[in-house]
Amino acid sequence: MRFRRVALCALALAACYGCARPHDRVAPGFIQVDIETSPTALDPRYATDAISERIDELMFDPMVRLDPQGGFVGDLAESIERTSPTEIIFHLRQGVHFNDGRELTARDVKSTFDFVIDRKNRSPKAGGLEQIKSIDALDDYTIKMTTRGPYAPALEMAMLGIVPGQTPGRNSSALDAPPGTGPFRLRDFERDDRVVLERNPARPISDANAIRGIIFKVVPDPTVRALELVEHICDLAPNDIQPDLLPYLRAQNGLDVLTSPGTTYWYLTFNFRDPALRDLKVRRAIAYSIDRDEIIRAYLRGTARIATGLLTPENWAYDGEVVTYPYDPERARQLLDNAGFKADRNGMRHLTLVYKCTPEGGRMGEILQAMLRRVGIEVRIRSNEWATFYGDMQRGNFDIAAMEWIGIKDPHHYYMVFDAPMTPPRGLNRGNYSNPEMDRLVEAGDTTTDEAARRKIYAQVQKLAAEDLPYLSLWWQDNVMVMNRTVAGFKPYPNGSLRSLADLTLTSPALMTTADGEPSE
Amino acid sequence: MIAYLGRRLLALIPVALGVATITFALIHLVPGDPVVAMLGDMAAPADIEGMRHELGLDRPLWQQYAAFLGGLATGDLGESISTHQRVAHLIAQRFPATLELASAGVIVAIAIAFPLGMIAGAAPGGPADLGAMGFAVVGISVPHLYLGPLLMILFSLKLRWLPLTGRGGLSHLILPAVTLGTALAAILARMLRQSLVQVRGSDYMRTAIGKGLSANAALLRHGLRNALTPVVTLLGLQLGGLLAGSIITEVIFSWPGLGRLMITAISARDYPLVEGCVLTFALTYVVVNMATDMVYGLIDPRIRLGGEAR
Amino acid sequence: MRLRTNLSLGIGGTLVAILILIGIFGPLITRHDPLAIDLRLALAGPKPNHPLGCDALGRDMLARLMYGARLSLAVSISVVALSLVVGSLIGGSAALAGGRVDSIVMRFVDVFLAFPGFLLAIALAAILGPGLTDLVIALTAMGWTGYARLVRGEVLSLREREYVQAANTLGATPSRILIRHLLPGIAGPVAVQATFGIGGIIVAEASLSFLGLGAMPPTPSWGNMLDAGRAFLLVAPHLTTAPGIAIGLSVLAFNLLGDGLAQLAGRRS
């Protein structure tokens, strides 16, 4: 008797537990996007990692942004005029409101820029705005940006998302976002778990089928992301899909796999503090040892193009007439012999390089390790979680590493990565590369405002970079989106921007009107 | 009785101290410079000195030890290098998840071990016995390392009955708990069978049967309670091993507990956090063992009074 | 009873013998280089040239398993041997010294025991860094205490036995006493403990390699093969199944052998 009662209670309890709505059920009109890592900052004045930037793009508007073809288009700025080599005037749109009701004026723009530029606020974006001499609000809707000298990439600096004036700085555990003018606003943020965005009430939409909100769910495990796609728990997974899973996902009903050319540039960076790597012969040998065709075909399953340099063919300054390094291990061995690294009986050359990576990058590390072993170079792989890896890269605690640049738009980036004084924390020259000819060229590229002249300069930069090998160009990664077929209207941007999520519609009306209610917490 | 408990609690202190000292020695007396490991050997000497000072590593060893023990007494375990949060806070956040997993593992172990052991013990030498014990040997041999992914492939990927990783409702707990508890279940089942067989041959059992009870009823009514004691003893002894197994299980299932925190801290070269996690695990182990000891002292007066251990 | 002893001993013994043969000769007879990659064969399932398929980089799984067997056996046997030596030295000397020294040493052993073994191995492996020698050191720290206690117990009881005292009086050197009288006494329990120990160390090494604290790529270890297979559970479960079964069977083999030996020793005494 007693036993039966106990059993019934246990069953009831289990039922309650089991029936509790798991966190990942979607509310009507909301889509779920699975992402690999948690965003760190939902404030455009601080965000520098890719996922934070992409989510911020949905909540905050800049004066100027990129269109799907990669060109500049005004957002908050209705029109732009360059009045002198050092001055640009932005005329702001009127009637734009923050999601708390206030209207956006030039004062908000000025205060956002001033906040980032002020070193006291320790914004990691300050370095990028170094060339700004001043931002002035000429009237309620006009902004004047003055640069220290003629500065070609000035417009890129205007891509900063705007927050209201008087918004305080971030403390280290901020789980809030400032008000923004973007199509969405923040509803909920649980670090390492999810970000929930809902439509900005100040920007009503007319389409009844447009999505009402987005749940960005942090799912670090790629297998789970794939499973969630297959089970339609997740509606969209942007990039970060394991290439090996693509054939499997393509074969699933109800899923679409969209690949489009991307600007994400993968490269091998050399640490010039290492004497062996300072020898050009060694770097060239490494370049000839890596079979990039094979890697793209077999490991990346064709979702990339062999890269010749930092800039993709879609970029206005692209020049493809540069020296390339087809797979040629024999030549690599010769170069290493010439460099003084003779091979012993086993073919190994007493040249050991430390390769740093994250656990996700371990497989590529092993591929490179195996390819370099074929020519006699020993590679030791050291894998750490992202923050430690990033810290190592910033401090020069590596010999070689494979990394990516996401969202390169203007060739000004060459200055940040190759100019000799631009080592971290000031710039991005992590390998401590120093070449006076390169310095001359990239500095000229920044200060020349005539586009034709700039193009000539950067053509030379690309040729020099391919010859001198501060980076070994690996490939340009395509953007790969896997989507639920019930979601329509997605437009890919070469830099991986998720801006078009604002235009998504759900093709199945039933998804908009279930009686389910709010997403459970 | 109170005196006994008091004595045991007092004995806890030197052991805890010893464990803390071992932890300190591990982190601080090892060859190689942790600061160089963190900053790289190309780092500027000024940076290395700065970091060393920040971590308090330039003070004499006994001072560091004293500071460590002092912090321990007040519950301050320092600051995590990678997240800049208090180590004690991080550990407190994650510890409940580990407890949840460990207790679920114990429940699963008992739930499997009981029927298995009883079936085997009821008819020793028979086919059920061989089957159950064969199962037990396999259960002990398959490590968490493989059982976890095996269950994942079967129940999550192929059958889609259960979620793959992470912590959530009951359904998220099942696979990790089964993974963790199976080996323990196998050990307990074997012990239960053995002690049941022993009990069957004992005098009071024969008396009960002589009085007219069937063999099984006698077993259930009289034998079981006595058969249980060595099993419970074994359970107590194995609890520490369960903690160790939980580390691997947490990593396999991305369970947000203390074990996974420790492994992440190791990867981040976050020595204060590693130290804190190791210490917490070790102290928990000590406390659990001590508690088990005390419980036996309560159950079996002979132990309490200093007689022979069973 | 007799049947069961033979069963455990027989099956366990056979499996262990097979394992040792694989470990010694397997790498010599395999045609494939366990480190040679071939990206076109990445994640390939079993096929004529590759009976167990290939891993994520197109390396032959069978070859990697066999090299992994060699690694597991070499590491675990070294560790157990080292633990035995260290434990015997410490336990034996403590027992011989007796009195105060014995108490202190045993206190030390107790405190060591209060520390969960695997945790100690993880912590040491993390701090000492990657590399096989460091791995062996870290794993030795796990198990030496068992042997210390065992040897100490035997030596203590031996001291009291009459024939030992007689031999001592007659002028036999301590080493003679050791070899003639001590070794036969502990051979049994030590053999049993060592056998179970090898199985345990195989799992511990695999666990450490799985966590990234043991054998480093590209060296194949069953543990790091399991870790590599995790990302491909959905499309290539054989990457996980193969090393997993290998570990399970090896541990089973040593556990059965240990069981058999225990029952053999139990019957004798």
Cross-chain Cβ contact B171/A18 below 8 Å: yes
Q: Are residues A306 and A431 in the same domain?
A: yes
Please tell me the distance from the alpha carbon of residue B36 to that of residue C112, in angstroms, as a whole number.
30
CATH number of C2-39+51-268: 1.10.3720.10
Higher confidence at residue B245 or residue B28? B245
Whether C207 and B145 have beta carbons less than 8 Å apart is answered as yes
Q: Are C111 and B15 within 8 A, CB to CB?
A: yes
Asked if the C-beta of A369 comes within 8 angstroms of chain C's C-beta atoms, the answer is: yes
Which positions in chain A touch C43 (Cβ < 8 Å)?
244
Q: Are residues A271 and A298 in the same domain?
A: yes
- pLDDT above 60: residue A26: no
Q: How confident is the model at residue B176 (pLDDT cuts 50, 70, 90)?
A: very high
Same domain, A126 and A211: no
Task: Tell if the CB–CB gap between B169 and A18 is shorter than 8 Å.
Answer: yes
Asked if residue C198 has pLDDT above 90, the reply is yes
Q: Is A71 domain-assigned?
A: yes
Residue A226 forms contact with C (CB below 8 Å): yes
Statement: residue C76 has pLDDT above 70 = yes
Q: Which of B17, B140, B141 is the best substitution to test chain C (most C C-beta atoms within 10 A)?
A: B141
Task: For chain C, list the contacting chains (3+ Cβ pairs, <8 Å).
Answer: A, B
Ordered by start, the domain boundaries in chain C are 2-39+51-268
pLDDT tens-digit profile of A422-437? 888 778 899 999 999 9
Given a contact cutoff of 8 angstroms between Cβ atoms, the answer to whether C144 and C83 are in contact is yes
Do A343 and A403 belong together in one domain?
yes
Task: Specify the pLDDT at position A482.
Answer: 93
For residue A5, the model assigns a pLDDT of 55
Decide if A220 touches B, using CB distance below 8 A.
yes
A115 and A140: one domain?
A: yes
- Per residue in A261-271, pLDDT (tens digit) is 999 999 999 99
Asked if pLDDT for residue C78 goes beyond 90, the answer is: yes
Give B33 to chain A, closest Cα distance, Å.
Answer: 15
Query: In this complex, do C235 and A370 lie within 8 Å of one another by their Cβ atoms?
Result: no
Mean pLDDT over C169-182 rounds to 65
Of the pLDDT bands very low, low, confident and very high (cuts 50, 70, 90), residue A20 is very low
**Which segment of A34-38, B6-10, B238-242 scores lowest on mean pLDDT?**
B6-10
- Residues of chain B in contact with residue C115, where contact means CB-CB under 8 angstroms, are 19, 22, 282, 285
Same domain, A85 and A105: yes
pLDDT at C212 over 90: no
- Do the domain assignments include residue A47? no
Contact A244 C35 (CB under 8 A): no
Range of the domain at A122: 60-157
Whether residues A226 and A296 fall in one domain: no
**Is residue A411 in a domain?**
yes
Chains within contact range of chain B (3+ C-beta pairs < 8 Å): A, C
Q: Is the pLDDT of residue A455 over 80?
A: yes
The pLDDT tens digits of the residues spanning B197-237 come to 887 777 766 776 677 666 666 666 666 777 777 888 888 88
Domain boundary among A111, A141, A157: A157
**Looking at the structure, do residues A335 and A425 belong to the same domain, yes or no?**
yes
**Weakest mean pLDDT among A154-158, B166-170, B208-212, C198-202:** B208-212
Does A50 map to a domain?
A: no
Q: Quick one: A306 and A377 in the same domain?
A: yes
Q: Which residue of C has its CA nearest to A292?
A: C39
Q: Is the pLDDT of residue A416 over 60?
A: yes
Give DSSP secondary structure letters for chain B.
Answer: -HHHHHHHHHHHHHHHHHHHHHHHHHHHSSSS-HHHHHH-TTS-HHHHHHHHHHTTTTS-HHHHHHHHHHHHHHT---B-TTT-SBHHHHHHHHHHHHHHHHHHHHHHHHHHHHHHHHHHHHSTTSHHHHHHHHHHHHHHHS-HHHHHHHHIIIIIIIS--S--SS--SHHHHHHHHHHHHHHHHHHHHHHHHHHHHHHHTSHHHHHHHHHT--HHHHIIIIIHHHHHHHHHHHHHHHHHHHHHHHHHHHHHTT--SHHHHHHHHHHTT-HHHHHHHHHHHHHHHHHHHHHHHHHHHHH-HHHHTT----
Q: How confident is the model at residue C109 (pLDDT cuts 50, 70, 90)?
A: confident
Instruction: Say whether the ipTM exceeds 0.90.
Output: no
Is A122's Cβ below 8 Å from some Cβ in B? no
**Chain C closest CA to B259's CA: distance in Å?**
10
A174 in a domain, yes or no?
no
Specify the number of domains making up chain A: 3
At A116, which CATH number? 3.90.76.10
Of the listed ranges A295-304, A316-325, C96-105, the one predicted with least confidence: C96-105
Does the beta carbon of C174 lie under 8 angstroms from any beta carbon of chain B? no
Same domain, A298 and A405: yes
Same domain, A424 and A465: yes
Partners of residue C216 in chain A, C-beta under 8 Å: 380-381
Q: Are the beta carbons of B249 and B302 closer than 8 angstroms?
A: no
Residue A165 lies in a domain: no
C255 sits in which H/E element: helix C238-268
In this prediction, residue A24 carries a pLDDT of 40
Of A114-128, A415-429, B220-234, C19-33, which gets the smallest average pLDDT?
A: B220-234
| A25 and A127, same domain (yes or no) | no
What pLDDT was estimated at residue A23? 37
Whether A25 contacts chain B with CB within 8 A: no
Residue after which a domain boundary falls, among A140, A157, A174:
A157
Pairing mode of beta strands A400-405, A255-270:
antiparallel
Residues of chain C neighbouring A370 (CB-CB closer than 8 A):
35-37, 57, 218
Measured between CB atoms, which of B26, B141, B286 is closest to C123? B26
**Conformational region of residue A350, where left means phi above 0, alpha means psi within -120 to 50, and beta covers everything else:** left
B169: nearest CB among A17, A223, A392: A17
**Residue from the list C212, C218, C235 with its beta carbon closest to the beta carbon of A366:** C218
At residue B39, the pLDDT reads 65
